[in-house]
Amino acid sequence: MALHLSSLFLRTLREDPVDAEVPSHRLLVRAGYVRRVSPGVYTWLPLGLRVLRNVERIVRDEMDAIGAQELLFPALLPKEPFEASGRYAEYGDNIFRLTDRKGAGHLLGPTHEELFTLTVKDLYSSYKDLPLALYQIQTKYRDEARPRAGVLRGREFVMKDSYSFDVDAAGLDKSYQLHRDAYVRIFDRLGFHYVIVQAMAGAMGGSKSEEFLATAEVGEDTYVRCTSCGYAANVEAVRVPAPDAVPFDGLPASHVEDTPATPTIETLVDHLNERFPRDDRPWAAGDTLKNVIVMLEHPDGTREPLAIGIPGDRAVDEKRLGAQVEPAEVVAFDEVAFSQNTALVKGYIGPGALGTDGASGIRYLLDPRVVEGTRWVTGANEPGRHVLDLVAGRDFTADGTIEAAEVRVGDACPNCEHTLETARGIEMGHVFQLGTKYAEALGLKVLDQNGKLVTVVMGSYGVGVSRAVAAVVEGNHDASGIVWPRELSPVDVHIVATGKDEPVFVAAEEVARDLEAQGLRVLVDDRKGVSPGVKFKDSELIGVPTIVVIGRGLAEGKVEIKDRRSNERREVPRDEVVAAVVREVRGG
RNA sequence: CGGGGCAUGGCGCAGCUUGGUAGCGCGUCCGCUUUGGGAGCGGAAGGCCGCAGGUUCGAAUCCUGUUGCCCCGACCA
């Protein structure tokens, strides 16, 4: 039965809702797809629900096609599994927690690694049962600090999450690739531009992770991409290409110089240019080695200082640093901490005092650019003094390297000889090699061919289903409203009946019936006494890709077919309209 | 958690400075006219002005407190 606008539970808004900033939010509310209930919590109205179901259908199709099996976990979960995995504490305020009448703790599931792991452990115990892939499409809950942009970032949202279980890493690679391929098909069908970026695999077990980002100005994720080769990565995941080590034969010996009142890179560079001018070029910030001390706080509450050496022209990127030291948190290295370590001279810290073997005993990690043979000006660990011509590998070493320096537009691509630029996107999907983190924590093991217990290797894979609805609108709208890709549109055809002549409405119903007989889904604007302008505006706002206008031309046996995206209209004889529309919908 | 802003019919807003019968546009309902780009005229319904105190003869308006919401940032498998 066709939907009829005269009775459909829908009210379009002529004006923009005041709280909606991004286009998708504005349009989904104005066109009557969603209504806000509370911050980050939305009702799906009939048209919106149809779109949401369409996204689910596509996801389901492609998951089933790779042999993943659908199941459904509760959203209301006991807290114990999350305590076992350590995430009850780790997730912090982002979990919705509640207590039942007996005082037992529960939570609303933010994600389901634990439950999948435990359920597989419950039922399976042999390598013969693997590989296995399970998925669910389910409502998730996260008490986001700041929900925003309508359903783009909600506190309640629909997500498809799936998990793969393999007996070894090679199996995981296969499962991962299967999922990745399925995701490519899903996002192609959803109809938006996206990039696949390398992401952080996390501290434990995982070895590979990629995110599917819908390219969008309003996106919350910044990523970098190569201007030439197709490389794309999250800022956190960018690997700085380390230059080759250079021989240090013949380089001058290091020498300590007085550099009074030069606690910052800027003052130091000025001083160098004044007192120790170079022959070839002026000193620049990039000639200096900046040593930054931070404090790490581990999950168990212990604290550990960490020194990071990076070229002086770069800042430490907190996100990149945070991703590197996960699960530890980065906190400020404050005055108190400084005063407790007498080997540190603020503003003049140099490699000489750093490292687990150095005077300070602080672990020291270097930016990958600081390779053997490079010469630096850096602190001499005395007030007002710096060392010049300090050569990495000859005069100092560190405990390792770390990717913590900011990534800048124009930096070298790790993959080719070109440079990087930044762009923004919306995270739509994530494929992730979990490894054994959860299997280990929750004891998921199977017997292998030799009768030995081995820990199962897992992957996790997510698609933001409700978010996809908003992301698709971000990429598919114009000044008048939404322009749905065919597979997502709430219906295939929107029939607009204009005028007051009864034959027009009769014809609209006949066409609707015939189109439905051909298997198309139809919406009829059968409202009486509503002016044509209103109906045209509404049809454009709602965004069904094919609009059939039945009105004044009917007297001459003509109706109009309009393409929402191109705005092209053509008149066809009344008798041919069904065939023409079917062709257009199926072909397009 | 930091910064900024806003709470007045379903939606968008004015009124507040200078206290005195709560208003406008859209939407909704009734009648007549109109019907290819958000129609016209006439009539109508609908609001404890976020909440709680206070000042005052009198508070949407002034004062105090409080709650909620929105935007930016921090945060975010």
Tell me the Ramachandran region of residue A86: left when phi exceeds 0, alpha when psi lies from -120 to 50, beta otherwise. Answer: left
Q: Hey, what are A278's tokens?
A: 């170079």
CB atoms within 10 A of CB A443: 14
pLDDT at residue number A204: 43
Give Cβ neighbours of residue A58 (< 8 Å, ≥ 6 apart): A186, A189, A190, A487, A488
The spacing between the Cα labelled CA in A44 and the C1' in B61, in angstroms, equals 39
pLDDT at residue number A587: 84
Q: Hey, what are A294's tokens?
A: 């931070």
Nearest-angstrom CA–CA distance, A522 and A174: 42
The spacing between the Cα labelled CA in A530 and the C1' in B28, in angstroms, equals 14
Q: Hey, what are A220's tokens?
A: 């919350």
Fold of A255-401: YbaK protein (3.90.960)
A205 touches strand B (CB under 7 A): no
Give the nucleotide at minimum CA-to-C1' distance from A460: B77
H-helix or E-strand containing A222? strand A221-226
Give Cβ neighbours of residue A105 (< 8 Å, ≥ 6 apart): A78, A79, A97, A98, A99
Give strand B nucleotides closer than 7 A to any protein Cβ: 1-2, 11-13, 25-27, 33-39, 68-77
Question: Fold match between A23-192+440-473 and A255-401?
Answer: no
Give the nucleotide at minimum CA-to-C1' distance from A15: B12
A550 touches strand B (CB under 7 A): yes
Q: Hey, what are A217's tokens?
A: 């100005």
- CATH number of the domain at A491-587, out of 3.40.50.300, 2.102.10.10, 3.40.50.800, 3.40.50.970? 3.40.50.800
Backbone angles phi, psi at A229, to 5 degrees: -100, -5
The answer to whether the beta carbons of residues A492 and A3 sit under 8 Å apart is no
Q: Which of A90, A83, A442, A105 is nearest to A300 (CA)?
A: A90
A240 touches strand B (CB under 7 A): no
A247 touches strand B (CB under 7 A): no
Q: Which of A512, A530, A464, A521 is nearest to A490 (CA)?
A: A521
DSSP A295-340: EEE-TTS-EEEEEEEEETT--B-HHHHHHHHTTSEEE---HHHHHH
pLDDT at residue number A569: 93
Nearest-angstrom CA–CA distance, A196 and A429: 9
Q: Which of A25, A27, A23 is nearest to A13 (CA)?
A: A27
CB atoms within 10 A of CB A197: 24
Nearest-angstrom CA–CA distance, A188 and A206: 27
Using 70 as the pLDDT threshold, list the residues of chain A that sit under it.
89-90, 201-207, 299-300, 327, 335-337, 588
Give the nucleotide at minimum CA-to-C1' distance from A41: B69
What is the gyration radius of the CA atoms in chain A, in angstroms?
30
| Residue extents of the structural domains in chain A | 23-192+440-473, 255-401, 491-587
Q: Hey, what are A226's tokens?
A: 């190569």
pLDDT digits (tens, 9 = 90+) for A126-153: 889 889 999 999 999 888 878 888 888 8
Which of the 8 DSSP states describes residue A287? Answer: G
pLDDT at residue number A201: 60
A12 touches strand B (CB under 7 A): yes
pLDDT at residue number A182: 95
Angle at which helix A502-517 crosses helix A577-587, to 10 degrees, equals 50
A529 touches strand B (CB under 7 A): yes
**Is residue A575 classed exposed, middle or buried when 0-12, 13-18 and 19+ CB atoms within 10 A define those classes?**
exposed
Q: Hey, what are A340's tokens?
A: 């407790």
| CATH number, span A23-192+440-473 | 3.30.930.10
Give the nucleotide at minimum CA-to-C1' distance from A496: B36
- Percent of chain A residues topping a pLDDT of 70: 96
Nearest-angstrom CA–CA distance, A191 and A208: 26
Residue that the structure tokens 């389910």 belong to: A138
A236 touches strand B (CB under 7 A): no
H-helix or E-strand containing A161? strand A156-166
pLDDT digits (tens, 9 = 90+) for A480-537: 899 999 999 999 999 999 988 889 999 999 999 999 999 999 999 999 889 999 999 9
Return the amino acid letter for A44. W
pLDDT at residue number A547: 96
Give the nucleotide at minimum CA-to-C1' distance from A319: B75
The answer to whether the beta carbons of residues A572 and A566 sit under 8 Å apart is no
A337 touches strand B (CB under 7 A): no
